[in-house]
Amino acid sequence: MSLERILREAADGLDGVLGVSVKHHESGVAASINGAELFPTASVFKLPVIVEFYRQVEAGGLGLDDRFVLRERDKVPGSGILKELSEGLELSLRDFLELMMILSDNTATDIVTERVGMENVNATMRELGLTRTVVVHDCRDILFDLIGLDGLQDEEKTLELFRAEARRERIGGTWSLGVEGNNVTTPEEMLRLLELIVEGKAAGRESCDAILETMGRCQTGEYRIAKYLPRKDIEFAHKTGSIPGIRNDVGVVTIRGTGERYLISCFTKAASDVYAAEEAIALASRSVYELFTG
């Protein structure tokens, strides 16, 4: 069975859109379904952010050991742990990067994103040839939209976000679930960014290795790409994204023993059942693994 047919079978029956791009790094065998279509990134936008962060470290503009004191107004609801911790906590930027990528911490992400600047992230993506990958909102803005907040000052919005989180309110916004005015990418472009990281071309070799090492400790999305893979036989470095109707996961799978690698970039949108979206990703991933490993 062909690689493309495997991917199409995984998409069959999903009430929503699945986009997947896959490439075996050593052989160059590749395939996509909906690979050129735009998808909301959700938290996958944190991957372009960490690439830009390391490039600025290399340029001398930022330091991994620079310190930052957490303030109450920095806290962002949603995923992560910093929102639960005390104001005045001092951490290094390295710590914020770890929290951003491993726990997908929204507070850490917005602190890092502010430091690097979204305009710099977008300029780097264009320099790398990823012209359709755009970061225009931080986590706080996305959450503002998800519960339909507007007409308030940012501090008032933040209070309402925490109240809504406590009440487990449903969404009220619109743009954060679509591709207009949103953080977006395509499966093919995120696959290319993964490839540039693996090849040490997204930033310096040492920086790219550090990014992959951190991604290898990601604790989210266990029911997506990794769900059916034999974890004892692989190493897996990835980043997930999740908002209502959207489940994304992009990563690098390394086969222990042979050292062969393949890159896989999975996005969904407009999914009526996010558990079905995760399962579609998991089934595509399992079939790809079985094909590449015989």
Helix 205-215, helix 187-198: angle, nearest 10: 120
Summarised one tens digit per residue, pLDDT across range 141-199 is 888 787 665 555 566 555 555 565 555 555 555 667 889 999 999 999 999 999 999 99
Give pLDDT, residue 77.
86
Sign, Cα dihedral of 243, 246, 247, 250: negative
Mean pLDDT value across the chain: 92
285: CATH: 3.40.710.10
For range 205-220, the mean pLDDT: 98
Q: Which residue has the higher pLDDT, 152 or 119?
A: 119
| CA 121 to chain CA centroid, nearest Å | 14
For range 35-49, the mean pLDDT: 97
Nearest one of 157, 171, 43, 182 to 105, comparing CA atoms: 43
Give pLDDT, residue 143.
84
* Phi, psi for 239 (deg, rounded to 5): -145, 135
Give pLDDT, residue 294.
86
Rounded Cα distance, 188 and 20, in Å = 8
Give pLDDT, residue 153.
57
Q: How confident is the model at residue 107 (pLDDT cuts 50, 70, 90)?
A: very high
For range 242-247, the mean pLDDT: 92
Give pLDDT, residue 173.
59
Spatial neighbors of 163 by CB under 8 A, at least 6 apart, are: none
Rounded Cα distance, 16 and 18, in Å = 7
CA torsion 42-43-48-50 (nearest 10°) is: 170
pTM: 0.92
Lowest average pLDDT, out of 4-13, 159-168, 174-183, 227-236, goes to 159-168
Spatial neighbors of 264 by CB under 8 A, at least 6 apart, are: 20, 21, 22, 191, 225, 250, 251, 252, 253, 284, 285, 288
Spatial neighbors of 166 by CB under 8 A, at least 6 apart, are: none
Q: What is the 3-state secondary structure (H, E, C) of the chain?
A: CCHHHHHHHHHCCCCCEEEEEEEECCCCCEEEECCCCCEECHHHHHHHHHHHHHHHHHHCCCCCCCEEECCHHHCCCCCCCHHHCCCCCEEEHHHHHHHHHHCCCHHHHHHHHHHHCHHHHHHHHHHCCCCCCECCCCHHHHHHHHCCCCCCCHHHHHHHHHHHHHHCCCCCCCHHHCCCCCCEECHHHHHHHHHHHHCCCCCCHHHHHHHHHHHCCCCCCCCCCCCCCCHHHEEEEEEEEEECCEEEEEEEEEECCCCCEEEEEEEEECCCCHHHHHHHHHHHHHHHHHHHHC
At 100, list the tokens.
Answer: 């951003």
What is the percent of the chain with per-residue pLDDT over 70, rounded to a whole number?
Answer: 89
Give pLDDT, residue 64.
97
Return the number of other C-beta atoms located less than 10 Å from residue 279's C-beta: 19
Q: Which residue has the higher pLDDT, 148 or 112?
A: 112
For range 255-279, the mean pLDDT: 95
For range 30-44, the mean pLDDT: 97
For range 121-125, the mean pLDDT: 98
For range 278-292, the mean pLDDT: 96
Give pLDDT, residue 264.
98
Total number of domains constituting the chain:
1
Domain of 54? 3-293
At 147, list the tokens.
Answer: 């519960």
